[in-house]
Structure 1
Amino acid sequence: MRQALALLALLTLVACQSEPDVAAPERPNILLICVDDLRPELGCYGAEHVQSPNIDRLAAEGRRFARHYVQAPTCGASRYGLLTGERPTHNGQLGNGFMMSHTSKRPEGEQPESFVHHFRRNGYRTVGIGKISHQADGLARRNPDELELPYSWDEMLVRYDKWGKGDAPFFGFADGSNRNTLKYEVPPYEAGAVDDLGYPDGLHAELALSKLDELAAAEQPFLLAVGFYKPHLPFTAPQKYWDLYEREQIPISPNPDGPTDAARAFLHGSAEFFNRYKLGKEFGGAGKRLSDAYAREVRHAYLACVSYIDAQVGKLLDRLEETGLADNTIVVLWGDHGWHLGDHTIWGKHSLFERSLQSPLIIHAPGLPQAGRATPSLVGSIDLYPTLCELAGLPVPEAVDGISLVPLLDDPTLPSRRPVYGYQRNAMSMRTDRWRLLLRKREQGWQAALFDHDADPHETRDLAAEHPEQVAALRSLWNEGTNGLIPTLDAWPIATEE
């Protein structure tokens, strides 16, 4: 495959020498499917209780990345990393509003170049549908006529329908209401007596199908990004997807309690889940479990949403086949971060544990060798930018921190090349093949947590106090990931007391 890619890149270079920003016809199309809050609890990731046949089909024909991690456990910051291929260098990049407050206001030449912009500048038609950046419609809230990613899109499309503009569809229920206008006096889930078009994601899938028909009739290569809202809260899906599951057969979390010996500061109170869905049946907090019965009920709702989105993914894959686009289209399915479903007593994201930072990544490319075989190599979301560039024969901008995944598309058995890092304000997490090290900055020094994934894949026991020598052994790798964002271990030592 790599030889074919090298030939493609050469042909592209020759074709574009006189006009460097004009795409060669040999370039592949790209379909990027972004799924909000999708944890790797899917059939293809070993969760036999989950009904995800279409995503499983994509994995069976592509490359599944078994250990893919985002660089921030929140939507906007994670998507910023995906789109720019850059690690954060200051705290502003770790919030949800950075693209709205920063990139939407800067001139084109002063912006970190998103891969969407890079592809557009090099001859691709770029179309976004749904949530790709942070805002549900891709618009900057302070100026509703301004895109979060100006200069990137030829078209940015969304279906508002019965919910109205802004983020109302994102938080919407089947009757057209939404959690914000109801002042959070809503439940965290709904089984709607509607078909797929009764919620925004079905409407966006329909819009994407129409757009694929249009793009198939054109000669210009395209990058189509489709962003689905679910399974983000509220967990709303048509009743038929709830009916796919027997609630009593749904397992609860294998790690429903906080890690033994870990500081409470590494947990959080699940504020969105408990405070913005006030009609929930039970209320917990950091270190406080919900009942198994209610945990299953909420997990049932989440899985119904996963199956609803899986059905929409299936429609897109089928349309690629029907239009003849499949043979020259790279398909990427990406989750913007994981989500705790009661793991460590948390109901939400926003942690630096495995469950929050790990998400699905599946890439299907025409001619992929060993299709269907997963790779255990550690990879990050920032690696997608250079991967797509290499597959399309485009140069990689110097500012990109990610490294291409094409070697892993060629050979899924290759070892991990480097650790992956996750960031929050004043905190960081590092994942190696065996260890996860978490450090949270305190006045007297770093507060540490250490987990051995060979023996404890669910991160149930903190070993930092028991094995300080292992924390010390990870020092140099840790320092490499701080990126000027937070102090190194040399500059800010680990605290000796809680």
Structure 2
Amino acid sequence: MNKITLSVVTVSLLMIQACADSKLDFSEEPKSSTPVPETSTKPKNVLFIMADDFNHWLPAIGYYDQAITPNINKLANQGVLFADASSASPVCEPSRQALWSGLSPTNTDLDGNSHAFIRDIPGHENVVTMNQFFKDNGYYVYGGGKLYHPGKMGADDTDPNNWSDLYTQGTGAPGGSHYLWQSQADTRGLVKWSGSDAAVEDANDTKLALHFAEKIKNYANSEHSDKPFFFALGLFRPHLPWNAPKQFFDMYNPDDLPLPQGYLANDLDDIPNKNGSHIFAEIKQQNVWKEGIRAYLANMSYADYNVGLILDALEASPYADNTLVVFTGDHGWALGEKEHWGKFALHDQANRTTMIVKDPDAKGNGEISRKVVSMLDLYPTLADAANLAIPAHVNGNSLSPLLAEPNDPNWTKPIVIRYNGTLIIKTNQWRLVDNGNQSQLYDIVNDPNEWTNLYGKLGYETITAELKAELAAWVNAKEDGIPGFDTVGTGDSDTGGEIEPVIVENITDLTAKKFGCSIELSWSDKSGEIAYIIRRKVVGEASYGNLVTVDKDTVKYIDDTVTSGVNYVYQVRPDFADAGKKVSNNPEIVPDPC
């Protein structure tokens, strides 16, 4: 049995004192003047906490031990910590849209920050989001902070009509003059960090946490107390810029911080599409790598402080023993692994996050699950744990078996990730990035840091073929085999029949060649497509941009908008209408001058 041991660190006294100064004192308050029925007769409440860009550096996971997160550690000791949890996509928007809708990016084609809302996608206009599902089942559903993307609650793309009430104030924390650094390579102006002298309680993330703590404290006397509650809040830190009160920076000495264990010099040598970060190159060149790690950890600790305010309020309330609690990030964040600084990547660190589920009735509480799971699993898990029928449209799996037995040997379900048109399948032993001649294959049991790309190597042909077949079966099952897939949104399990499968194919023979001072693309025609989407990016950029959409049966396109000397990467996506869009291999080329 893999029990979590809480480590005691002297510096955590700072956070205890900060909690004492947070203007909340539950010690002298009666828990409630309203009697609360026994948990066996009252539906379970839900407390759902997200922290933006919170990766898998929680000490108990075992990857990076120096993060000071006593409050999240405590929650992990009370629930089940999923040590190998991944997002559905390594970017805020598709990850969050998948989480709240229950639909994989393989269904929605939302696999980048395109600023699209799930209900804007044809066929998904009436999808039942998780917050709507609980509201429709009699819950008082209250949301605040960054839950959807982009951020502020109340906007059209935060599903405003399917919450009972909303907290619409801002998130984050101000910057200051301490430990200040800013990247010159980042044109967005986001890659920077600083410590502030501002009072902790004046920062927006802390205001958000204090507000939800008060909601929990006062719920028994509220007009909604006859209903179970679903409280969801999204903290903005540790999202960039890494600004936090100075006291959280002071918890760490950069000289004492090790580099991430997953870092290996020249680790990109066996990856065909080298996707190193120019920002990370700048950080190394300026010798601020450990300062950057300290800034990220400071923001993790600041997020942990705010989580503590909320969990303390729950613990002091009459609902402590009847509330499902979730803590999760929205994806991962690399701090030098694979020469990368950030998310927006096919590497495992860009998807790995911290995920904890506490069900007061779960037999596995206090244990660590090492099974591969997805954030897509949270929607069905919460429905299941609340004794509600899981909506038919959701793509994830209920984690109830793992809440009972966290390392159940029978749990062999793969997870599927999609980013920028590329599919990834991960099992308990293997991770395959299925990207044509730029594919990657890792044995994550024997090579957990993914230092050796096995794709195309002798002896791995069979497992590669098996994983590709399993990936295709997963995608087809989720896209074409879900009852009610054409009529998602009712929340019922009998809203339609299965869709007749449509056979669709990726393009595997896309070529790019010089044509004067332009680039000529060519590929083989597919059957059943309605159009082809031509996409391009510069090597090193995170995302493709759409150049043009051409008619079906087109097999050639000339790009005359290129700049000589620039290294471009191309992608052509066949669009099969209701069957979805597929991808292609990704040739690189540098055009000649005119």
TM-score if structure 1 supplies the norm length? 0.80
The residue number in structure 2 matching 1:213 is 217
- For structure 2, list consecutive stretches of 5 or more residues without a partner in the other structure: 1-39, 481-501, 510-583, 589-594
Q: Distance in 2 between matches of 1:435 and 1:322?
A: 43
The answer to whether structure 1 residue 94 and structure 2 residue 111 are counterparts is: yes
Which residue among 32, 43, 54 is the counterpart of 1:38? 54
The residue number in structure 1 matching 2:466 is 473
The answer to whether structure 1 residue 103 and structure 2 residue 119 are counterparts is: yes
The answer to whether structure 1 residue 154 and structure 2 residue 199 are counterparts is: no
| Structure with greater strand percent | 2
The residue number in structure 2 matching 1:433 is 428
**How far did residue 184 of structure 1 move?**
5.1
Partner deviation per Cα, 1:257-305 (whole Å, 9 max, x = no partner): 45354335252536xxx4xxxxxxxx627xxx72594110000000000
C-alpha contact (below 8 Å) 1:33/1:332 kept by paired residues: yes
Which residue among 458, 463, 482 is the counterpart of 2:454? 463
Q: Distance in 1 between matches of 2:150 and 2:407?
A: 37
Say how many residue pairs are matched. Answer: 437
**How far did residue 187 of structure 1 move?**
6.1
The residue number in structure 2 matching 1:334 is 328
Which residue among 14, 17, 42 is the counterpart of 1:26? 42
The answer to whether structure 1 residue 225 and structure 2 residue 232 are counterparts is: yes
C-alpha contact (below 8 Å) 2:142/2:165 kept by paired residues: yes
Distance change (3 Å), C-alpha of 1:497 and 1:198: closer
C-alpha contact (below 8 Å) 2:89/2:105 kept by paired residues: no
Q: Distance in 2 between matches of 1:240 and 1:81?
A: 35
**How far did residue 490 of structure 1 move?**
8.6
C-alpha contact (below 8 Å) 2:172/2:205 kept by paired residues: no
Aligned-residue CA RMSD (Å): 3.1
Q: What SS does the aligned partner of 2:248 have? A: helix
Distance change (3 Å), C-alpha of 1:436 and 1:488: farther
Distance change (3 Å), C-alpha of 1:187 and 1:116: closer
The answer to whether structure 1 residue 84 and structure 2 residue 79 are counterparts is: no
Distance change (3 Å), C-alpha of 1:105 and 1:437: closer
The residue number in structure 1 matching 2:395 is 401
C-alpha contact (below 8 Å) 1:173/1:199 kept by paired residues: no
Which residue among 172, 175, 189 is the counterpart of 1:173? 175
One-letter amino acid of the counterpart of residue 331, structure 2: H
Distance change (3 Å), C-alpha of 1:262 and 1:172: farther
Which residue among 101, 104, 117 is the counterpart of 2:132? 117
The residue number in structure 2 matching 1:61 is 78
**How far did residue 466 of structure 1 move?**
1.6
**How far did residue 99 of structure 1 move?**
4.5
**How far did residue 370 of structure 1 move?**
3.5
One-letter amino acid of the counterpart of residue 154, structure 1: S
The residue number in structure 2 matching 1:13 is none
TM-score if structure 2 supplies the norm length? 0.68
Q: What SS does the aligned partner of 1:128 have? A: strand
| Structure with greater helix percent | 1
**How far did residue 239 of structure 1 move?**
0.9
**How far did residue 497 of structure 1 move?**
10
The residue number in structure 2 matching 1:299 is 293
One-letter amino acid of the counterpart of residue 93, structure 1: L
**How far did residue 314 of structure 1 move?**
1.0
Q: What SS does the aligned partner of 1:473 have? A: helix
Query: Which one has the largest radius of gyration?
Result: 2
Highest relative contact order (Cα 8 Å, sep 6+), 1 or 2?
Answer: 1
One-letter amino acid of the counterpart of residue 243, structure 1: D
C-alpha contact (below 8 Å) 2:268/2:274 kept by paired residues: no
Q: What SS does the aligned partner of 1:403 have? A: coil
Partner deviation per Cα, 1:206-237 (whole Å, 9 max, x = no partner): 11112212323222101000100011101111
Q: Distance in 2 between matches of 1:64 and 1:386?
A: 17
Percent of residue pairs identical: 29
